[in-house]
Structure 1
Amino acid sequence: MHALVVTAHPSPRSLTAELARVAGSALKGSGSSVEVSDLYAMGWDPAVRLEDYRDVDGGAETVSARSRHAYGAGTLAPEILAEQDKLRRADLVVLVFPMWWHGMPAILKGWFDRVFVNGFAFGLQDDAGLPRKYGDGGLAGRRVLAVVAAGDRAESFEPRGLNGDLDELFFPFLHGIAWYTGMEPLRPHLVAGVDRPGWDRFDREVERLRERIAGLGAEEPVRYRALADGDYGRDRKLRVDVLPGERGVRIHERRVGEQELGEQGPAGHCVDDHRLAS
């Protein structure tokens, strides 16, 4: 297995940096090859700029269209092309970052913004002309693990916790980025309470992360519903007969015992609306 470790913290002496080193070491110890993108050390620019799409005369086109043209023409900025090559080689992507304002640091979000361009990570079609997204896409075949350091205690990220349930907090990443582009997301690995006075769990957290990495081969990813499963109607909403009356992001996870409907769906339901525009 080949892994890409992407880390985002300005200090090389930070807990985040150490967790990234532990993850890389554990992966190598399990026989994997590892590449690292330390975004701060690289001086990564998180801002999307028209200069990213060199020699592309897009006129009034959208950023998405410009990026697609540049990707097809091979004129993306060299640093973007280099990160895309790393992703092509990767079977596993490990993201290591601190939780800042209930999300990832801007530099990491900017890595997604600039690297996951139209034509590379999304905007693709299958042989039938149907869009490849939500369970398929340019990064299909890869898995992704987020290792997140948070200041507050672990209990505060549980379903009844003050900070909100961790899986729901990271739904935009797990479902909207990873699953959308075809990657299989694993449950986030939370290292909690790091800002609390007297926090002394460093050695235990290192051990826990090593154990998590060692067991990744047997770990089940989050079982989100794929667009092609037949669970969504023409309006891109979960069909009324699937988990009737339930709401919230959890309805997009397939429950234990549920049967996949397949692309044709049950009798009377049409799911060939995948041709709708994104």
Structure 2
Amino acid sequence: MNVLIVYAHPEPKSLNGSLKDFAVKHLEDAGHVVKVSDLYAMKWKAPLDASDSMDGQACERFNPALDSKLAFENGRQAKDLAEEQDKLQWADAVILQFPLWWFSMPAILKGWVERVYAYGFAYGVGEHSDTHWGDRYGEGTLAGKRAMLMVTTGGWESHYSARGINGPIDDILFPIQHGILYYPGFDVLPPFVIYRTDRVGEAGFTKACETLAERLDKLWTTEPIAFRPQNAGAYDIPALTLRADIAPGQTGFSMHSEQ
């Protein structure tokens, strides 16, 4: 299988760097083909702007969606983002690896998403009607592929528990897992998370690698998070609200997955 790791950490000797190196070797030893987009090493340009089109902005005012659409349709995208799209099309599975900084991904990785997820590639695709509101949330250009987050955080696991001060880790990662990965069609696997990174130590690293190896070995057999598909009947279209008879009285992120 083909695996793409999109990696966002500035220090090669960090815990993240060591985990990335371990993941690459483990996957390759198992016979998989691995590509790594090391965003800091690539000096990835994070801001989405008119330079993402070889022709510059399409009109007097830069329009992110329109300019992205025209550049994608006409083969006039900046070379770096077109190359990343090719990697996504090539991959059978994608791993986004990053430290949790201020409750989200590093800005360089968010910039990768904003630029690579062009209009017509990751969004703005499919029929929009009274019964089908675009190919997204379970459908889309990346459907049939698998994705997983590899996340490290300095906080304790209890800090990210159901009653933890930081909020449940599944809620914190929901915008990434549901909005960035599931939206264009990925089957999203439960995340691999390491807590208290400053206390891992040699023994902790060995244990983390053992757990990660098991997760990587099951990359194609692990049950994905059971997010509800948008166009399969669970949501009223075009309002895109969950039907009243599904998870009645429930609110919040959890209602968008089948328990």
Structure 1 CA distance for aligned equivalents of residues 185 and 123 of structure 2: 9
* Aligned CA distance change for structure 1 residues 198 and 94 (closer, same or farther; 3 Å): closer
**Corresponding residue to 2:250 among 215, 235, 246:** 246
Out of 180-189 and 120-129, give the one that drifted further: 120-129
Q: Which residue of 2 aligns with 1:220?
A: 223
Q: Which residue of 2 aligns with 1:41?
A: 41
User: What aligned pairs does 1:146-161 form with structure 2 within 5 A after superposition?
Assistant: 146-161=149-164
User: What aligned pairs does 1:188-227 form with structure 2 within 5 A after superposition?
Assistant: 188-196=191-199, 200-227=203-230
Superposition deviation, residue 165 in structure 1: 1.0
User: For the Cα contact (< 8 Å) 1:152–1:196, is it kept in 2?
Assistant: no
Q: Any stretches of 5+ residues in structure 1 without a counterpart? A: 256-278
Structure 2 CA distance for aligned equivalents of residues 106 and 57 of structure 1: 23
Structure 1 CA distance for aligned equivalents of residues 195 and 88 of structure 2: 28
SS, match of residue 170 in structure 1: helix
Q: Which runs of 4+ in 1 moved over 3 A?
A: 126-130, 196-200
Aligned: 1:133 with 2:136 = yes
Superposition deviation, residue 181 in structure 1: 0.6
User: For the Cα contact (< 8 Å) 2:128–2:134, is it kept in 1?
Assistant: no
Aligned: 1:166 with 2:144 = no
SS, match of residue 42 in structure 1: coil
Superposition deviation, residue 207 in structure 1: 1.2
User: For the Cα contact (< 8 Å) 1:6–1:94, is it kept in 2?
Assistant: yes
Q: Which residue of 2 aligns with 1:58?
A: 58
- Report the RMSD for the aligned CA atoms in angstroms: 1.8
User: For the Cα contact (< 8 Å) 2:103–2:172, is it kept in 1?
Assistant: yes
SS, match of residue 75 in structure 1: coil
Structure 2 CA distance for aligned equivalents of residues 85 and 4 of structure 1: 11
Superposition deviation, residue 159 in structure 1: 1.3
* Aligned CA distance change for structure 1 residues 138 and 212 (closer, same or farther; 3 Å): same
Q: Which residue of 2 aligns with 1:96?
A: 97
Superposition deviation, residue 56 in structure 1: 5.2
User: For the Cα contact (< 8 Å) 2:133–2:231, is it kept in 1?
Assistant: no
Aligned residues: 255
User: For the Cα contact (< 8 Å) 2:57–2:63, is it kept in 1?
Assistant: no
User: What aligned pairs does 1:12-31 form with structure 2 within 5 A after superposition?
Assistant: 12-31=12-31
Structure 2 CA distance for aligned equivalents of residues 30 and 165 of structure 1: 33
The alignment's TM-score, normalised by the length of structure 1, stands at 0.87
User: What aligned pairs does 1:106-145 form with structure 2 within 5 A after superposition?
Assistant: 106-125=107-126, 131-145=134-148
User: For the Cα contact (< 8 Å) 1:193–1:199, is it kept in 2?
Assistant: no
Q: Which residue of 2 aligns with 1:229?
A: 232
Deviations 1:177-232 (A, max 9, x none): 11111111111110111124968511111111111111222100111011111111
Structure 2 CA distance for aligned equivalents of residues 197 and 52 of structure 1: 40
* Aligned CA distance change for structure 1 residues 127 and 170 (closer, same or farther; 3 Å): closer
Aligned partner of 1:195: which letter?
D
Structure 1 CA distance for aligned equivalents of residues 31 and 158 of structure 2: 34
Identity %: 39
User: For the Cα contact (< 8 Å) 1:152–1:195, is it kept in 2?
Assistant: no
Structure 1 CA distance for aligned equivalents of residues 232 and 153 of structure 2: 35
Structure 2 CA distance for aligned equivalents of residues 121 and 210 of structure 1: 30
